[in-house]
Amino acid sequence: MNQEENRAFAKRIDQHDPLRELRNEFVIPETSFGIEKIYFCGNSLGLQPRGVRKYAEAILEDWETKAVDAHVHGDKPWLTYHDHLTEMMARIVGARPDEVVLMNGLSVNLHLMMVSFYRPTSRRHKILMEHKPFPSDLYAVKSQIRFHGYDPALSLVEWQPRPGEETLETEDLEEILRQQGDSIALVLLSGVHYYTGQAYELKRIAEAARAQGCHIGLDLAHAAGNTVLKLHDWDIDFAVWCSYKYLNSGPGSLGGCFVHERYRDGVGLPRFEGWWGNKVETRFQMDPDFDPSVGAAGWQISNTSPMLLAMQRAALEIFERVGIASLRNKSEALTFYLEFLLDQMPDEAYTVITPRHPDHRGAQLSIRMNRDGQKVFEALTNDGVVCDWRNPNVIRVAPVPLYNSFIEVLEFIEKFKRALNL
């Protein structure tokens, strides 16, 4: 098809997209000329839902007019503000409501979970991670290993790609577990790898880890709100995630935490305790002994900002109305269309390193630039495209089903061609 036919085709897909109106519920950044940018960077920071301002202003008004009484009075008392948000979040990650809590940031939650689920012994002290995880996870894991008196050089095991490949094979992880499983205390993986965009076979991996007696935990920063998750059914021990990427809750917003219901009473698990982890019924009695809430809420330490909860509320209500399955269907179509168009313009200047199978990737294609990567990225930026550069040579492109369209995918390709001087 020529350029005109391509545009007509993309517009027809958008016209028949049942989720096309969702775009109107988000604020799209514009160029200095007042033209909407092509925002393919939801894997770093999701766009602002228009409902955020209303909910945030309601918190400010309650603070202004009710002050301390806003904790227990008003349309949405601060003390219980999180209750209905927890249920919505639980549906997104495939959990039961008492298995989920909204608190802290991702790395803080990861440390809190490892306090409970990384209990090394002289026989079983290793942590198994994927090759080149997000650096913050690696810092947390290495510091936990050292805290317990072990050496990361000996206690950290990496699931490596095969020679000449970028992504990982589940069979290789299963082989590591067969060979070293009795010395591995914790398997800790991302749900979707931040750099390659690969989505792992989490159900299969969890089964392999449990077969060797290992705990399994997940960092779902790039998976929550992006892929279909079934944390309860997959029998995951714990998971943590941020909410400012695909969950569109704003910079620095609250993280999420999942703890499987078999640990709902916390029996036999050490944890760091704080007053907000107390049962609601006893929280304000100020007793000297900790009286933990049932489920994941028992891992809370401090009270949660109602302002941050309000920012999450706006996005979660959209997810609740639409459903993660519908969003995932559109996401797969967007990345398929992007991949198809990239395949039509083969050029040795770049290689897509994200898996081709839709089940093995999220809403992201990672394009490895074989030459002039920084120049191409800068040209895209100057041409109104917001995507993401990751050293040493990858442009991450993330069309998000909540607010991106098929015509934007086509326009990105046109701008990419210009940047490559094709």
Tens digit of each residue's pLDDT (9 = 90 or more) over 8-20: 999 999 999 999 9
Residue 225, token pair as written in the block: 């709100």
- % of the chain residues with pLDDT over 90: 94
Question: Do residues 277 and 348 both lie within one domain?
Answer: no
Would you say residue 187 lies in a domain? yes
d(CA 364, CA 194): 9
By the 8 A CB rule, do 206 and 258 touch?
Answer: no
What is the phi/psi pair of residue 147, to 5°?
A: -60, -35
Of the pLDDT bands very low, low, confident and very high (cuts 50, 70, 90), residue 4 is: confident
Place of tokens 């766009």: 47
**H-helix segments, 344-405:** 373-382
State whether residue 26 is helix, strand or coil: strand
Q: Do 304 and 293 fall into the same domain?
A: yes
DSSP 311-357: HHHHHHHHHHHH-HHHHHHHHHHHHHHHHHHHHTS--TTEEE-S-SS
Do 269 and 367 sit in the same domain of this protein?
no
Cβ within 8 Å of residue 205, ≥6 positions away:
170, 173, 174, 187, 189, 216
Secondary structure (H, E, C), 264-298: CCCCCCCCCCCHHHECCCCHHHCCCCCCECCHHHH
> For residue 219, is it within any domain?
yes
The reply to whether 48 falls in a domain is no
Distance CA 91, CA 100 (A): 10
Q: Does 42 reside within a domain?
A: no
With residue 369 as reference, give the H or E element that holds it: strand 365-369
> Does position 422 have pLDDT exceeding 80, yes or no?
no
The per-residue pLDDT for 84 is 84
Last residue of a domain, one of 320, 343, 360: 320
In this structure, are residues 35 and 408 in contact, taking their beta carbons and an 8 Å threshold? no
Read off the pLDDT of residues 98-132 as tens digits, 9 standing for 90 and up. Answer: 999 999 999 999 999 999 999 999 999 999 999 99
Per the domain annotation, does 50 fall within a domain? no
Q: Are 332 and 302 within one domain?
A: no
**Tokens 């909407």 map to which residue?**
36
- Same domain for 330 and 407, yes or no, is yes
Together in a domain, 299 and 329: no
Q: Which of 284, 303, 320 is the last residue of a domain?
A: 320
The last residue of one of the domains, among 320, 345, 378, is 320
Residues 263 and 165 in one domain: yes
CATH number at residue 125: 3.40.640.10
pTM of the entire predicted model:
0.95
Interatomic CA distance for residues 412 and 418, integer angstroms: 10
Whether residue 49 lies inside any domain: the answer is: no
Residue 1's pLDDT is 67
Q: What is the pLDDT of residues 207-247, one digit of tens each?
A: 999 999 999 999 999 999 999 999 999 999 999 999 999 99
CA count, 13 A, side-chain hemisphere, 278: 18
Q: What is the mean pLDDT of residues 37-55?
A: 97
β-pairing, 256-259 vs 215-219, is unpaired
Q: Indicate whether 227 and 288 sit together in one domain.
A: yes
Do both 272 and 136 map to the same domain?
yes
Q: How confident is the model at residue 3 (pLDDT cuts 50, 70, 90)?
A: confident
pLDDT digits (tens, 9 = 90+) for 339-379: 999 999 878 899 999 999 999 999 999 999 999 999 999 99
In the sheet with 100-102, reading across from the earlier edge strand, the strands are: 100-102, 256-259, 238-241, 215-219, 184-190, 126-130, 156-159
Its domain, for residue 20, covers: 3-36+323-420
How many independent structural domains does the chain possess? 2
Say whether both 29 and 61 belong to one domain: no
Decide if pLDDT at 94 tops 90. Answer: yes
147 lies in some domain: yes
Using DSSP, how many helices (H) and how many strands (E) does the chain show?
A: 12, 13
> Cβ(192)–Cβ(222) under 8 Å?
yes
Claim to verify: residue 293 and residue 348 sit in the same structural domain: no
Q: Residues 120, 211: one domain?
A: yes
Whether 266 shows a pLDDT value over 90: the answer reads: no
The answer to the question of residue 206 being in a domain is yes
